[in-house]
Amino acid sequence: MSARRVCVLGGGAWGSVFALICRDAGNDVTVWARRAEQVDEINAGTNRAYVGDVRLDGIRATTSLEDAVSGADLVAVAVPSGSVRECAAAFAPYLRMDASVLSLVKGVEAGTLSFMTDVLVDALGCSPQRVLAVSGPNLSAEIARHQPTGTVVAGSDAERAGYVASRIHTAYFRPYVGSDIIGAEVGGVVKNIVAMAVGACTGMKLGVNTRSFIINRGLTEMARLGVALGARSETFLGLAGLGDLVATCSSELSRNFSFGYRLGQGMNVSEALEASAGTVEGATSCPHVLALAGRLGVDMPIAQATQDVLDGHVDVETAALRVFRSPRVTDGVDARAV
Amino acid sequence: MSARRVCVLGGGAWGSVFALICRDAGNDVTVWARRAEQVDEINAGTNRAYVGDVRLDGIRATTSLEDAVSGADLVAVAVPSGSVRECAAAFAPYLRMDASVLSLVKGVEAGTLSFMTDVLVDALGCSPQRVLAVSGPNLSAEIARHQPTGTVVAGSDAERAGYVASRIHTAYFRPYVGSDIIGAEVGGVVKNIVAMAVGACTGMKLGVNTRSFIINRGLTEMARLGVALGARSETFLGLAGLGDLVATCSSELSRNFSFGYRLGQGMNVSEALEASAGTVEGATSCPHVLALAGRLGVDMPIAQATQDVLDGHVDVETAALRVFRSPRVTDGVDARAV
């Protein structure tokens, strides 16, 4: 058995590209996927639907969780957020006692309003120190083309986080170590909501000043929520905060951005959802984020305006004006209201 | 004499558009410009070279500093950074005792390595509380078209800053109040250096992940320098930090970005400077910023790599790889080294 065995759960775009990174960093990599056809494809060195022409040679795939997880000292979870709890419960029996679990998933669980690392800790019944989050400006298609990319490995155990970072470091993928898991989780979720709002402004033909304003005030909302949940405000200056936010808001490929863009151009919500061909994560998580914010007394006017548009309570122009014309306040993360 | 009299010193793009904002906010506005032809043009309601078709009706212009400054309780300085000291010394005799002075200028003075509000305080011999900085994602062409725009009015006297903000608040221009002048000044200068680096990466056909990485690590450098100079790290999360940086790095109109872009495409430094048709502020300020950083023991690897390219010591690809391949460190503003 290899001393550097990594298991990646999920054969979508991010799972496949993360497997590539791990392979290139010198690990022995197994991908678990649910569908046998996908497993066969990966074992034949391709995964066309998700990574196009990029070859997955040297990466093994299996439909057996036991086969994938047993023996791996690094288990990366890249399944849809709604499946994380079920998946974790299913692989828990095969997890090595010393293995680190990496969450590549962004989301808030419906009902519990828990972030993904908390769901993993809960479902695995393991120490929180063993569960880490990977987050940053990580468009998988660019990583697959070896474009220089930075990320954050956030874990409460600094030694473990440093070790995990060294296991996934390649010439094109540069992990920074962080200790603020909550900050990374909040950043990964709220960015999608802000990307919808930035998309809407772009669809309304507003310019760079407005875009930058929304990104900036959106980051402030993200930081306020994070700080209320126990994150450090500095995290939001980093790759998992601002970095990921800027990338998501710059990518026309982002489903959240294009969904907002269509709303800004005048489509109604159901037309825009239909045109999006897939889950718009920001639209799914927005009510959960607002529920958390409400519980903590955190003001999130951009998220609230976005939700009001999603609920059909206001049109997108009215919502934008409401954000822009709210009372003037001080700048910065500690501002009391916006 | 009007109770709301504003004087704007400088009839370039930002000065002219700031005069428009002040007019629309209900002030009686006088612009001072050096050249008589420009003054005549503004008095005829236009300033074609700087604001195109936008009308300047109701704004008065003069070549007399005494005429412009006397009686104004708000004096906005929008002359080139190299002329600020001389201009301030010339208008000091006409400045009302209670007037607030607003710096719209970004830059570091050669020799003294002082930021512009310090130059103004020094040259005017006035209390630092009377000198404020205005900074944010404020592309003047977009403001002239009434695109929703936010800015920061930073002053050490909160009451004065709040009052100034209320005097320049319009439906399309939204000032936030800040107390961190140093942070606003550092942000306004370092953003141009980062924009050159982002432009270079874009010229080398690197993607959104890399762009976001450089913006992010550039912001970290900016914040480290700022904190060493006495700024608060939170300021860099705001419109005068991140906000201005994102706008500058997103604008293909930015001379700093296009200069870097040309270097990335393979032009040498003198070709790229020649093609830039005007001052590349980032190239001018980079050695001053590095001198300040050196004095304070602050590490600024992106600025240093940029300067090494400007000095012809390394080519742009080597410089980019050096930034990307430096030792792995922790994420966030308090990282010791990058």
By Cβ distance, the residue of B174, B250, B335 closest to A328 is B174
Q: Considering only the top CATH level, what class is B182-325?
A: mainly alpha
Predicted confidence (pLDDT) at residue B14 exceeds the cutoff of 90: yes
A182-324, superfamily in CATH?
Answer: N-(1-d-carboxylethyl)-l-norvaline Dehydrogenase; domain 2 (1.10.1040.10)
pLDDT in tens, A178-192: 999 999 999 999 999
Residues from chain B that touch A333, judged by Cβ atoms under 8 A, are: 234, 237-238
Q: What is the mean pLDDT of residues B280-296?
A: 96
Predicted confidence (pLDDT) at residue A332 exceeds the cutoff of 50: no
Q: What is the pLDDT of residue A287?
A: 97
Q: What is the pLDDT of residue A327?
A: 62
Report residue B223's pLDDT band, with 50, 70 and 90 as the boundaries. very high
Q: What is the pLDDT of residue A330?
A: 54
Predicted confidence (pLDDT) at residue A195 exceeds the cutoff of 60: yes
Q: What is the mean pLDDT of residues A57-80?
A: 97
**What number is the ipTM of this complex?**
0.89
Which residues lie closer than 8 Å to B102 by C-beta, 6 or more apart?
B74, B75, B76, B77, B131, B132, B133, B134, B153, B164
Q: What is the pLDDT of residue A250?
A: 86
By Cβ distance, the residue of B232, B243, B330 closest to A213 is B243
**Average pLDDT along chain B:** 92
Predicted confidence (pLDDT) at residue A328 exceeds the cutoff of 70: no
- B138·A209 Cβ contact <8 A: yes
Q: Are A184 and A240 in contact (CB under 8 A)?
A: yes
Catalytic residues of A: 191
Q: What is the pLDDT of residue B335?
A: 34
In percent, the amount of chain A with pLDDT more than 90 equals 88
Pairing of strands B5-9, A60-62: unpaired
Instruction: Give the type of residue at B272.
Output: A
Q: What is the pLDDT of residue A325?
A: 80
Residue B133 bridge partners (DSSP)? B103, B154
**Residue ranges of the binding site of A for sn-glycerol 3-phosphate:** 106, 136, 191, 244, 254-256
Predicted confidence (pLDDT) at residue A58 exceeds the cutoff of 70: yes
Q: Left (φ > 0), alpha (ψ -120 to 50) or beta: where does B45 sit?
A: left
Nearest to B228 by CA among B160, B182, B168, B286: B182
Predicted confidence (pLDDT) at residue B217 exceeds the cutoff of 50: yes
Q: What is the pLDDT of residue B333?
A: 39
pLDDT in tens, B293-308: 999 999 999 999 999 9
- A331·B178 Cβ contact <8 A: yes
Q: What is the pLDDT of residue B334?
A: 38
Nearest to B80 by CA among B175, B14, B23: B14
Predicted confidence (pLDDT) at residue B267 exceeds the cutoff of 90: yes
Report residue B69's pLDDT band, with 50, 70 and 90 as the boundaries. very high
Q: What is the mean pLDDT of residues A39-50?
A: 95
Under CATH, which architecture does the B5-179 domain have? 3-Layer(aba) Sandwich (3.40)
Q: What is the pLDDT of residue B336?
A: 30
Predicted confidence (pLDDT) at residue A322 exceeds the cutoff of 60: yes
**Average pLDDT along chain A:** 92
pLDDT in tens, A256-285: 999 999 999 999 999 999 998 788 999 999
Distance in angstroms (rounded) separating the CA atoms of residues B188 and B166? 22
The residues spanned by each domain of chain A are 5-179, 182-324
Distance in angstroms (rounded) separating the CA atoms of residues B108 and B120? 12
By Cβ distance, the residue of B149, B234, B328 closest to A213 is B149
Distance in angstroms (rounded) separating the CA atoms of residues B129 and B288? 26
**Residue ranges of the binding site of A for substrate:** 106, 255-256
Predicted confidence (pLDDT) at residue A1 exceeds the cutoff of 60: no
Structure tokens at A27: 């690990």
Q: What is the pLDDT of residue A338?
A: 24
Q: Taking the mean position of all CA atoms in its chain, how far away is CA A182?
A: 12
Instruction: Quickly tell me which residue has 């012809």 as its tokens.
Output: B312
- B329·A176 Cβ contact <8 A: yes
Report residue B330's pLDDT band, with 50, 70 and 90 as the boundaries. low
Q: What is the pLDDT of residue B337?
A: 26
Cα angle B310, B313, B314 (rounded to 5 degrees) comes to 90
Residues from chain B that touch A209, judged by Cβ atoms under 8 A, are: 137-139, 142-143, 147-150, 247
Q: What is the pLDDT of residue A331?
A: 52
For residue A197, the 8-state DSSP code is: H
Predicted confidence (pLDDT) at residue B332 exceeds the cutoff of 90: no
Predicted confidence (pLDDT) at residue A134 exceeds the cutoff of 70: yes
Predicted confidence (pLDDT) at residue B131 exceeds the cutoff of 70: yes
- Rounded to 10 deg, the angle between the A301-310 and A316-324 helix axes is 170
Distance in angstroms (rounded) separating the CA atoms of residues A134 and A240? 8
Name the residue with higher pLDDT: A253 or A241: A241
